[in-house]
Amino acid sequence: MGGDVGTVAVEMLDIVDASNRIIGCAPRSEVHRLGLRHRAVHMLVLDAQDRIYLQRRSPHKDVDPGLWDTSAAGHVDAGEDYHSAALRELNEELAIDDVQLQTLCDLPARIETGHEFVRVYIGRTRSEPRPDPREITEGGWWTEAELDAWMMRSPADFTATFHLLHARYRGRHQGERRD
């Protein structure tokens, strides 16, 4: 707000070392072009029936266009913490603000995560997501059985990061169900 019409804000990201300590800051485009380590968040949002909301990324995205991914995801902006970034992304991408987030896991930066240290959150909502059409082509709710069958049938429909996160989610969720 208050910027000149036509001015595009440059997304600044913290650059981190192999131990996830901040060592600098650079524009998102440079961080991605140079393959520098940085931070991101992914959220798995569930409804009252334990269905997971997934989004299909816009075909205009520069990373993984048109692929299915977690409920919401995004970079941790320079100077921002993981939790604040997660809440911001849920609001920006899905217009959801009633989710109490819990950390599911952390993934180390590696090629499959786009050199991102990823903190994964899980939470429930009573709201119906309203996807931002600039970010998301479509979205929907899936049961675990529906999602498992889809991933077996068409694994290329999903981002590499989602494959990693889904395996972590299934491992934790199955452990909870045995108790």
Taking only the tens place, the pLDDT of each residue in 125-151 is 999 999 999 999 999 999 999 999 999
Taking only the tens place, the pLDDT of each residue in 8-48 is 688 999 999 999 999 999 999 999 999 999 999 999 999 99
Strand 38-46 relative to strand 116-124, pairing = parallel
Instruction: Please check whether residue 4 lies inside any domain of the structure.
Output: no
Structural domains counted in the chain: 1
What's the helix, strand, coil split of the chain in %, to 5? 30, 30, 40
- Annotate 37-70 with b (16+ C-beta within 10 A) or e (fewer): bbbbbbbbbbeeeebbbbbbbbeeeeebeebbbb
Average pLDDT over residues 89-110: 95
pLDDT at 170: 80
Instruction: Please check whether residue 7 lies inside any domain of the structure.
Output: no
pTM of the model: 0.88
Instruction: Please check whether residue 2 lies inside any domain of the structure.
Output: no
Are 107 and 20 in contact by the 8 Å Cβ rule? The answer is no
Instruction: Please check whether residue 66 lies inside any domain of the structure.
Output: yes
Q: Which residues fall within 8 angstroms of residue 9, CB to CB, at 6 or more apart?
A: 3
Range of the domain at 99: 12-178
CATH number at residue 155: 3.90.79.10
Instruction: Please check whether residue 99 lies inside any domain of the structure.
Output: yes
Instruction: Please check whether residue 3 lies inside any domain of the structure.
Output: no
Q: Which residues fall within 8 angstroms of residue 102, CB to CB, at 6 or more apart?
A: 121, 122, 123
Residue-level length of the chain: 179
Average pLDDT over residues 96-111: 94
Average pLDDT over residues 171-179: 52
Instruction: Please check whether residue 1 lies inside any domain of the structure.
Output: no
DSSP string, 22-50: EEEEEEHHHHHHHT--EEEEEEEEE-TT-
pLDDT at 65: 94
Instruction: Please check whether residue 138 lies inside any domain of the structure.
Output: yes
pLDDT at 7: 52
Taking only the tens place, the pLDDT of each residue in 33-43 is 999 999 999 99
Q: What residue type is 5 in one-letter code?
A: V
pLDDT at 115: 95
